[in-house]
Amino acid sequence: MAKNVTVKGLKADPIEKKETEMVERKGIGHPDSVADGISEQVSRGLSRYYLKHYGRVLHHNTDECQIVGGQAKPMFGGGVVSEPIYILLVGRATTKVNGETIPFKEIAEEAAIKYLRTTFPDLDADKNVVLDTKIGQGSVDLRGLYDTQKYLANDTSFGVGFAPFSEAEKITKETELYINGKMKETIPESGKDVKVMTSRRGNRIDVTCAIAMVGKRIADRDHYISLKEEMREKILDYAARYTDREVVVHINTADDYESGIYYNTVTGLSMENGDDGSVGRGNRVNGLITPFRPMSLEAAAGKNPVTHVGKIYNLLSMQVAEKIYDAAGGDIEEVNVRILSQIGKPVSEPLSANIDLILSDGVKIGRWSTEAENILTDYLDNIDKYVTQRVIRDELSVF
């Protein structure tokens, strides 16, 4: 089958040799990430139900979720959520098969509530969240295209991937995972809503972290300030494993101690107090926002994992770029992959697929062009193995 692949050498400086760089990661508790997480779990819940009862994933897209922030009164030693967070689930799903009604609303709400309960331990999902479901049946035309036996793209869209991560990108992603992972063992006062913004200028890397704190675990102002310093030192030590460059860490820079302004929360989440969120406004499928790199603006979370190329091609492109880079063993400094579909055409046969290679000194494009194309072809021919099955098994993150 035609893959329409073009492989070329790109004459450009790799990201590490550029003078400046900016990278962002919205952590798992950021309102935009919460919307992504809920949408994706609803899709995976539906996918598993469809597979169990009908042997294949039926048409659905639940890539619309809106978080409307509540109201809260945080304070040291306590605090209350005075107005609940409103979460709206929107999308389309197959709601009937052979006249049998599928309990899609129950499946969606169960997936959403389970995600909130297991991911955010300081949020009382039963008391502090109002969940509203407006998922309906998809259009007849789209359902006609959505035949998993044919694997026809149900959108005209593109996916983008690159490899490898730069030092700044590694620091950005790993820092948030550390704050919401290992660091919680010694600093449980930190909440789940974390955002990391990294700026590299030459050999200096500034890492700015916004970390929501859980007021009920913090005694007073001095305790809060000491925790910030402890976190700063831990993050600095952790970041040092990814670079020899100078790293400077900043935490909660909007704090104003004289005015009594602290990033203090009841639940560890800013959405408790007026901060809203939407699907697709946060991280790309690689877990980062990278304005110095090629990116797609697709909202991958919640899209079906079988034929929606806005999800599939982005996940595929990242894996292909990583595979090519790893296979090259130093011959390639950077890989960029872009894949474009046409609605109604086989997902495995893109309209256009482009691989750009920034080669190491002295390496000719002919040495890797065929290998790069073969790797991409293998992934396109085996989308079910590399993407669909892994998504349903919770092995791939989309944000």
DSSP state, residue 344: T
Report the SS3 class of residue 284. Answer: coil
CATH code, domain with 214? 3.30.300.340
Domain boundary among 240, 275, 310: 275
- Rounded to whole angstroms, the Cα distance separating 356 from 7 reads 6
- Judge if 224 and 194 occupy the same domain: yes
Report the SS3 class of residue 28. Answer: coil
pLDDT band for position 140 (50/70/90)?
very low
In a domain, 241, yes or no: yes
- pLDDT > 70 in the chain, percent: 96
Q: For strand 78-83 and strand 20-26, is the pairing parallel, antiparallel, or unpaired?
A: unpaired
- Rounded to whole angstroms, the Cα distance separating 196 from 198 reads 7
Q: What pLDDT does residue 330 have?
A: 93
Arithmetic mean of pLDDT, 281-295: 97
- Judge if 192 and 294 occupy the same domain: no
Report the SS3 class of residue 315. Answer: helix
174 pLDDT above the threshold of 60: yes
- Rounded to whole angstroms, the Cα distance separating 99 from 245 reads 63
Residue 12, both tokens:
């450009």
Q: For strand 246-251 and strand 204-214, is the pairing parallel, antiparallel, or unpaired?
A: parallel
Q: What pLDDT does residue 141 have?
A: 42
345 pLDDT above the threshold of 60: yes
Cα-to-chain-centroid distance, residue 281 = 10
Report the SS3 class of residue 373. Answer: helix
In a domain, 105, yes or no: yes
CA nearest to 112, candidates 62, 78, 175, 76: 62
Q: For strand 190-201 and strand 20-26, is the pairing parallel, antiparallel, or unpaired?
A: antiparallel
- Judge if 183 and 203 occupy the same domain: yes
In a domain, 24, yes or no: no
Q: Within 13 Å and on the Cβ side, how many CA atoms surround 268?
A: 26
Q: What pLDDT does residue 145 have?
A: 44
- Judge if 53 and 69 occupy the same domain: yes
Report the SS3 class of residue 94. Answer: coil
249 beta partners = 207
Residue pair 239/175 in contact (Cβ under 8 Å)? The answer is: yes
Residue pair 214/191 in contact (Cβ under 8 Å)? The answer is: yes
Cα-to-chain-centroid distance, residue 312 = 13
- Judge if 238 and 269 occupy the same domain: yes
Indicate the average pLDDT of the chain: 94
- The Cα-based distances of 315 to 79, 275, 286, 311, 388 in angstroms read 41, 29, 8, 6, 10
In a domain, 399, yes or no: no
DSSP state, residue 102: P
User: Rounded to the nearest 5°, which phi and psi values hold at 135?
Assistant: -80, 130
- Judge if 77 and 123 occupy the same domain: yes
Arithmetic mean of pLDDT, 360-387: 95
- Judge if 268 and 285 occupy the same domain: no
275 pLDDT above the threshold of 50: yes
- Rounded to whole angstroms, the Cα distance separating 225 from 53 reads 54
Q: What pLDDT does residue 56 have?
A: 87
- Rounded to whole angstroms, the Cα distance separating 294 from 356 reads 11
- Judge if 94 and 141 occupy the same domain: yes
> Can you give the pTM of this predicted structure?
0.93
CATH code, domain with 319? 3.30.300.280
- Rounded to whole angstroms, the Cα distance separating 98 from 79 reads 51
In a domain, 26, yes or no: no
- Rounded to whole angstroms, the Cα distance separating 378 from 398 reads 21
61-87, pLDDT tens digit by residue?
A: 999 999 999 999 999 999 999 999 999
- Rounded to whole angstroms, the Cα distance separating 128 from 272 reads 8
For residue 112, give its domain range: 31-145
AA letter at 191: G
- Judge if 217 and 286 occupy the same domain: no
- Judge if 312 and 362 occupy the same domain: yes
2 pLDDT above the threshold of 80: no
pLDDT band for position 1 (50/70/90)?
low
Residue with tokens 């002295």: 362
Q: What pLDDT does residue 54 have?
A: 87
In a domain, 196, yes or no: yes
pLDDT band for position 100 (50/70/90)?
confident
In a domain, 125, yes or no: yes
Least confident of 22-31, 47-56, 109-118: 47-56
Q: What pLDDT does residue 151 have?
A: 84
- The Cα-based distances of 232 to 27, 28, 177, 257 in angstroms read 17, 20, 15, 17
In a domain, 261, yes or no: yes
Peptide bond connecting 84 to the previous residue in cis, omega within 30 degrees of 0: no
- Judge if 247 and 314 occupy the same domain: no
252 pLDDT above the threshold of 90: yes
- Rounded to whole angstroms, the Cα distance separating 179 from 288 reads 16
CATH code, domain with 81? 3.30.300.10
Tally of domains in the chain: 3
- Judge if 183 and 93 occupy the same domain: no
CA nearest to 206, candidates 249, 144, 173: 249
